[in-house]
Structure 1
């Protein structure tokens, strides 16, 4: 059973490949530049990208199970549909797709709406797939470490409704286990969808409080000004992406990222251990992790 992992060198893909390799899976990793790919020993490499039809057909040849992850890019939706259609043509009936929590609620956020459209395509075409819907990645906050450590400010406008932030390592392990469950099933399994969340519902002030306790000095939340957030992001990202992230932050404040009943218990059962918390992450960062 060969498992093709797309996005294999990214935040989540790296975790999935590592978890699959530890369990002895036959893995093929889709990468743009094999020379830069740092993969575990024994992982086969397929060079290409999702808009390259010939490269994708070659990558999918002989594959039984597909993990599909699309980066937040302007043509994310097209990439996903092409890959899924090529997977159908190749006869692949075991798929795990990484979407996002509340993709059906964040209707005006481009990358959320695109992922929900992919979910609909999967469901309505009868693909045998699991749709995983992660909340905001705890690990994204590595990017604001300097603001926290050097300036005493937690800058993310996460709002007051609460986000069930999830650690990317937990996402990777759960995704790997789901891939193996589908890969080893005697027949293709039916469509499934579930959320990937962390153990706590976090607001901006709560996160600032965690950092204050971990660092032993006051850390304040910068507030929930999403217009200012967009302007700051434009220093580091394309304007379209900064706007997309602003719309996401607007929905953080209107909707939050609230787990469904039983989500935490289900994930804890899959992992056989507690979910990693934001406090765990903050302590690791403080210790130089």
Structure 2
């Protein structure tokens, strides 16, 4: 049977596709432009998007399992609900949905609240799904490498509560494992939620210290200025998104992203190896 992957060309989606292909799975990727997809050989490409109902119906035809990933957009919740309804219409009973950790806590943050609404639909409609709830992607820090190396400051306002940063590659592999587990089950498996976290819970000062160690020179923490964070982001993204990110940063400061007891052990057992550390991630991008 076939697993359909949405968001297949993004940071996480590419890892999901690669891991499924490596495991010999029949993969179909929903993409807007097949000519630009640049995915591994053997991946079937379905042209369309999550707001094009006709293309989505075509993409799910013959699919047994769905991986649903939505980018942060103003209509993210609409995209997700349409996709889930189309999947239900097509009789798909095996779903893995990429949500976010503490979606039920960060209730004022638009893209968190939207994902929690999708989680509620999954539960209330009785859909058989694994809901993956990742913490902060350490890969986000690729965008601030030049600031760290050029100005000696770690600028992300992540605060003192701590974030259990996780690598996108680990997210993709865990997602692939869950997709295959559901795909290969004789009967649809019940709803389950899994927090996706890294091995360390890092404060802003901790992250700066990792950079200091890797670079061999002092790197300071830029502080807890969520308003300044929004101002900087407005230079590279729409105002609504920059404000969304500011609200998220404010919840970093007030709540953090701390894993539940047993999360790290569960994921380590699932992968059969240690989770990637933030230090290893920083060492790799610093070397590059």
Partner of 2:205: 205
Alpha-carbon deviations, 1:131-165, whole Å to 9, x = none?
A: 00000000010000110111111100001000000
Residue 52 of structure 1: how far off its partner (Å): 0.3
Partner of 2:76: 76
Partner of 1:226: 226
**Structure 2: how far apart are the matches of 1:41 and 1:148?**
37
Residue 194 of structure 1: how far off its partner (Å): 1.1
Answering whether residue 120 of structure 2 is matched by residue 139 of structure 1, we say no
Trace 1:1-80 onto structure 2 (pairs within 5 A): 1-80=1-80
**Structure 2: how far apart are the matches of 1:2 and 1:66?**
9
Residue 287 of structure 1: how far off its partner (Å): 1.3
CA RMSD of aligned residues (A): 0.4
**Structure 1: how far apart are the matches of 2:268 and 2:234?**
38
Give the TM-score taking structure 2 as reference length.
1.00
Answering whether residue 169 of structure 2 is matched by residue 169 of structure 1, we say yes
Runs of 4+ in 1 over 2 A off after TM superposition: none
Residue 285 of structure 1: how far off its partner (Å): 1.1
Give the TM-score taking structure 1 as reference length.
0.99
Partner of 2:156: 156
Structure 2: stretches of 5+ with no match in the other structure: none
Q: Any idea what SS the aligned residue of 1:28 has?
A: strand
Residue 284 of structure 1: how far off its partner (Å): 0.4
Alpha-carbon deviations, 1:234-263, whole Å to 9, x = none?
A: 000000000000000000011100101100
Partner of 2:127: 127
**Structure 2: how far apart are the matches of 1:160 and 1:285?**
24
Trace 1:137-286 onto structure 2 (pairs within 5 A): 137-286=137-286
**Structure 1: how far apart are the matches of 2:224 and 2:234?**
17
Residue 44 of structure 1: how far off its partner (Å): 0.1
**Structure 1: how far apart are the matches of 2:255 and 2:152?**
27
**Structure 1: how far apart are the matches of 2:49 and 2:42?**
21
**Structure 1: how far apart are the matches of 2:286 and 2:106?**
33
How many residue pairs end up in the alignment? Answer: 288
**Structure 2: how far apart are the matches of 1:54 and 1:210?**
48
Q: Any idea what SS the aligned residue of 2:63 has?
A: coil
